[in-house]
A and B are shown apart, each in its own frame.
Chain A
Amino acid sequence: RKEVEQDPGPFNVPEGATVAFNCTYSNSASQSFFWYRQDCRKEPKLLMSVYSSGNEDGRFTAQLNRASQYISLLIRDSKLSDSATYLCVVNIGTGNQFYFGTGTSLTVIP
C-alpha cells in the first residue's frame, strides 16, 4: 500500500470556482503534512504546511483529519494561475522521511 494516495484528476474548473482535493495517508505515525505546487516541467514549491488541524492562507485552506488519515486542500475563487499539479506530502517523524503523492492536476478554464 502506498504511503500517500491522491486522486490524479484531472480537475478542470472554471475561473472563480471552488475546488477541493483530498489526500489519504497510511502511516498513523505521520506527523507533518504539506501541500506543494508543481507547474509543468518545473520543480515543486511549497504551498502550505499543515501542522495541526489545518490552516488558511488567502484563498487556500488546508485541513487535516487524523482520525480518518486524510488531508484536504480547498482553493476558493480559482484563478487561471492556479493551474498546476498539487502534491500532497507526508513526513513520518521518526525517520524524518518525506513521502510525496502522485499529484492532482488542476486546470482552471477561462
Chain B
Amino acid sequence: EAGVAQSPRYKIIEKRQSVAFWCNPISGHATLYWYQQILGQGPKLLIQFQNNGVVDDSQLPKDRFSAERLKGVDSTLKIQPAKLEDSAVYLCASSLVPGRYGTQYFGPGTRLTVL
C-alpha cells in the first residue's frame, strides 16, 4: 500500500516570498492533517480536514497560511508571505477515521528554509 506522498521534499525561499506544499494521502483516508515541526520540537497541528471540510484550524496562522482540500483527496498548504520563523518541516498525515481511533500515517515532510 502506498504511503502518504508529499512534495517538494525541500524548499528554500527568501522571506516575504510565497510557497506551496502538496500532499496526497493514503487511498481511502478521509481525514488529513497538516503539522508544522520546528527543529527540536514536536509536531504542531495546523489544520485537520475531514473529506473536504475543515474540522479544526484553530492553530493555523490565517493571516499568512491557507490550506485546501477541494475534492477530498489531495491537499495544498500555502504560506504567503513567508517569515523567517516559518522555517520548519511541514508534515502531512492521514487516517482512515478521525479522532483517537484513527492511526495517523505521516508523509516524509517538506523541509522549508526561509532566508
Residues on A with beta carbons closer than 8 Å to the beta carbon of B103: 46, 49
Question: How far, in angstroms, from A1 to B76 measured CA to CA in the complex?
Answer: 31
Given contacts A96-B48, A97-B45, contact A46 B99 (CB under 8 A): no
Are B106 and A45 in contact, with the CB atoms below 8 A?
yes
Question: How far, in angstroms, from A8 to B40 measured CA to CA in the complex?
Answer: 9
Are B42 and A87 in contact, with the CB atoms below 8 A?
yes
B62 at interface by CB-CB < 8 Å: no
Q: How many residues of B contact A (CB 8 A)?
A: 22
Residues on B with beta carbons closer than 8 Å to the beta carbon of A42: 108
Are B42 and A91 in contact, with the CB atoms below 8 A?
no
Q: How many residues of A contact B (CB 8 A)?
A: 23
Question: How far, in angstroms, from A100 to B37 measured CA to CA in the complex?
Answer: 10
Are A43 and B42 in contact, with the CB atoms below 8 A?
no
A14 at interface by CB-CB < 8 Å: no
Q: Mark A16-40, 1 if CB is under 8 A from B, else 0.
A: 0000000000000001100000000
Are B108 and A91 in contact, with the CB atoms below 8 A?
no
Contact of B91 among A4, A31, A32, A43 (CB under 8 A): A43
Given contacts A43-B107, A43-B109, A95-B56, contact A103 B100 (CB under 8 A): no
Given contacts A98-B45, A101-B42, contact A93 B108 (CB under 8 A): no
Q: How far is the CB of B30 from chain A (nearest CB, A)?
A: 13
Are B100 and A93 in contact, with the CB atoms below 8 A?
yes
